[in-house]
Amino acid sequence: MNYNQLYELQCMRIRREAMEKSYPRERELKLRRRKKELLLEKKDLILLEEKLRCQMKDIHRLQDEKQTIVEEISKINEDLYSNRFTPKELTSLQNRLENLESTLANRNTRIDKENTLLMTKKADLKDKKNSLVDRMKDYEGKVEEYLQERNRLLEKLKLLDEQITEFISELDETDRAFYDKENTKYGIRMLSVLKKGRFCSNCSMLLESDTIHAVKSNQEGVRCQSCDRVLYNFEE
């Protein structure tokens, strides 16, 4: 039994396991969450922009109403000096004029207020858009960095998988049968070695003297009395 070769194979598989565990899954999840947050924020800004367009339409409507009032005031002023109306009619026109002037003043105040509010909201929207653009660029940079790191790791895993496959294919019939049986039973860590000369490296059990002697004498099939792994004459 070529334990040396089998232990080398085990070390390769343990190294692969460690590499796979180092895969930046948590980073990937964080980036996905970040993308979702940024897209939601972008959607909110689109909705806000639509609200501002509606507000602009409302202001235009108020301005149209103002223009109609101004034109009516101008017409009444002409009528007041036309000598075509009776005193009673003139009084009615004068009252109408006063009402229109009051309405015009209210319209002007409202338009000024709405314009000021709109300008403030536009400035705020612009700042938010610029901030979102900066954060999207930062996100894209992190995605690129993550993809490069992930691809490097996947390439290493692919290469190591090829080496492991080739290594297994080169095992002789006896070693391959042992590998298949022990791997099915125990998984990657199917062999154990001596730790500090007297402990099982797999379960840290203090080995019996006879067991230690048998291992150091390169006897085959010596197993740890605790975890049942075959012990290989090698010290960590």
Domains of the chain with bracketed CATH: 3-169 (1.10.287.1490), 190-235 (no CATH)
What is the Cα–Cα distance from 38 to 54, expressed in whole angstroms? 24
H-type alpha helices, the chain? 3-21, 25-80, 87-169, 173-186, 209-216
pLDDT of residue 82: 85
pLDDT tens readout for residues 218-229 = 998 999 999 999
**pLDDT beyond 90 at 130:** yes
What is the Cα–Cα distance from 213 to 69, expressed in whole angstroms? 111
What is the Cα–Cα distance from 114 to 223, expressed in whole angstroms? 86
pLDDT tens readout for residues 34-74 = 999 999 999 999 999 999 999 999 999 999 999 999 999 99
Across the chain, mean pLDDT equals 93
- CA count, 13 A, side-chain hemisphere, 31: 16
Read off the tokens for 158. Answer: 């692919």
* Range of lowest pLDDT (9-18, 19-28, 99-108, 162-171): 19-28
**pLDDT beyond 90 at 83:** no
> Counting Cβ atoms within 10 Å, is residue 195 exposed (0-12), middle (13-18) or buried (19+)?
middle
Length of the chain: 236
**pLDDT beyond 70 at 215:** yes
pLDDT of residue 236: 66
Predicted TM-score (pTM) of the model is 0.67
Residue of higher predicted confidence among 229 and 1: 229
- CA count, 13 A, side-chain hemisphere, 173: 0
Q: For residue 3, give the nearest of 225, 235, 218, 189 by alpha carbon.
A: 218
Q: pLDDT > 70: what percent of the chain?
A: 100
What is the Cα–Cα distance from 204 to 224, expressed in whole angstroms? 10
Tokens 């975890």 correspond to 227
**pLDDT beyond 70 at 131:** yes
Residue of higher predicted confidence among 118 and 3: 118
What pLDDT band is residue 25 in, cutting at 50, 70 and 90?
Answer: confident
3-state secondary structure (DSSP) of residue 234: strand
What is the Cα–Cα distance from 176 to 215, expressed in whole angstroms? 21
Read off the tokens for 172. Answer: 């002789």
Amino acid identity for residue 22 in this structure: S
| Non-local CB neighbours of 70 within 8 Å, separated by 6+ positions | 104
Averaged pLDDT, 163-167:
95
Amino acid identity for residue 148 in this structure: Q
